[in-house]
Structure 1
Amino acid sequence: MTVGKRARRSARGNRWGLALVGLLLVLAGAAALATGWGLFGVGPARSALVGAPIVDGLRRPWVPYVVAAVAIVVALLALRWLVVQGRTDTVGRLRMDPGDEGGTTEMPAGVARSVFEEEIGDYAGVRRARAHITESGVDPQLRVDLTLNDDADASAVWRRIRAEALDDLRTSLELERLPAVIRMSMTAPPRNPRRELV
């Protein structure tokens, strides 16, 4: 399973988990509200929230240990959830096509990404380029975030990326296809161009 699929599965699990916890809290709140309003009869509405048998049960010597064990389990589950949130679908290493010679050739994805960003960064009108190689090291995909000057020709930048930079990257990685998503945003020119050049 690729990292991207794991990230999507984690997001789906997050939605289901949050929906179930929210549903349980809504049901508990509705039940407490209905009891307080006397919808289940006058007796439950006027009775104490915690009865004497429950108080006596909580005074048993083993109760604090059970509470501590449950708290540890909940903390470990919460820690695992936080670790899962930190995962990204960015690929660390790219696996090159071994061809007829066999063996495995790998390269850091950061090297290919840096060369690609530098090439696009030199295009006219491009202020900043950030690229992310995602999905898998064997069949990668590319996400590009561009910040353009407000007077840049966005369509010309896009055509040049497609004709030059993407083709160069695909060729250097020995890939037949390299799916890419390019997001462009515009920014105003700097207030003090001289300071920007320093």
Structure 2
Amino acid sequence: MAAAAGNRARRTARGNRWFLALLGLVLMAAGGAALAAGLGGFSGLAASETLGDSVGGRFGRPWVPYAAAAVAAVVALSALRLLAVQVRTGTVARLSLERDTGPGTTEMPASAARRVLIDEIGRYPGVRGVRAHLTGPGDGPAVRLALTLDADADTGGIWRRVRSEGLADLRTSLELDRLPAVLRISMAPPPKVPPRTLA
């Protein structure tokens, strides 16, 4: 499971590198052509004539500049898609509950498991806020937790309780042998004491 996820990530990274290299070459060629045209590098191109008009006139097709604009739009959309892939968090949408080789699978929304975990940990004394994300494959997820604790909270005690109760309950309900978790803890500032005025 983890190996398959790692292979997928490597293939995605390799594809992204190839796409970036090709996009860079295309943009360099287009930029070089535009610079050469601006410096008068294309013979027969009048100063008052645009590069699009010249290309369209040379090929005898008035649609050539529009085709170039369409290609530029496709390149821009591809670049936006690449950016979206780069910022993807890897959050899993559905969790597999049965891991046998028979036909059919039983799944549940990952958001339901996440809400249960947040509700349980949020009731611990000293916990002011909880954020949780389930990442990775649906049949072997990992948990990312971000806790905000009161300034005087027992950090060690809360972590032990999260590990022995919250994460253990989630692992049991998902029928997992192991449930990797990353925990980030931040402390909330103490409440501000209003200034007292002297009578």
> Structure 1 length normalisation: TM-score?
0.68
User: Deviations 1:12-45 (Å, cap 9, x if unpaired)?
Assistant: 665776688779989x99x9xxxxxxxxxxxx9x
Aligned residue for 1:67, secondary structure, equals helix
Aligned to 2:178: 177
AA aligned opposite 1:68 = A
Deviation of 1:114 after TM superposition, in Å, equals 0.7
Aligned to 1:141: 142
Cα separation, 2, equivalents of 1:70 and 1:79: 14
Aligned to 2:44: 52
Q: Which runs of 5+ in 1 are unaligned?
A: 32-43, 193-198
Structure with the greater relative contact order (CA < 8 A, sep ≥ 6): 1 or 2? 1
Question: Contact conserved, 2:130 with 2:146, CA < 8 A, in 1?
Answer: yes
Which structure 2 residues correspond to residues 1-198 of structure 1 after superposition, within 5 A?
A: 6=8, 10=12, 48-52=40-44, 57=55, 59-60=57-58, 61-62=60-61, 63-85=64-86, 87-97=88-98, 103-191=104-192
- Larger deviation, residues 159-168 vs 69-78: 69-78
User: Deviations 1:94-144 (Å, cap 9, x if unpaired)?
Assistant: 111356987522111111111111111111211111111110110111111
User: Deviations 1:130-166 (Å, cap 9, x if unpaired)?
Assistant: 1111101101111111111121121111111111111
AA aligned opposite 2:133 = H
Number of aligned residue pairs: give it: 179
Cα separation, 2, equivalents of 1:18 and 1:103: 39
Q: Which runs of 5+ in 2 are unaligned?
A: 194-199
Aligned residue for 1:160, secondary structure, equals helix
Cα separation, 2, equivalents of 1:100 and 1:52: 70
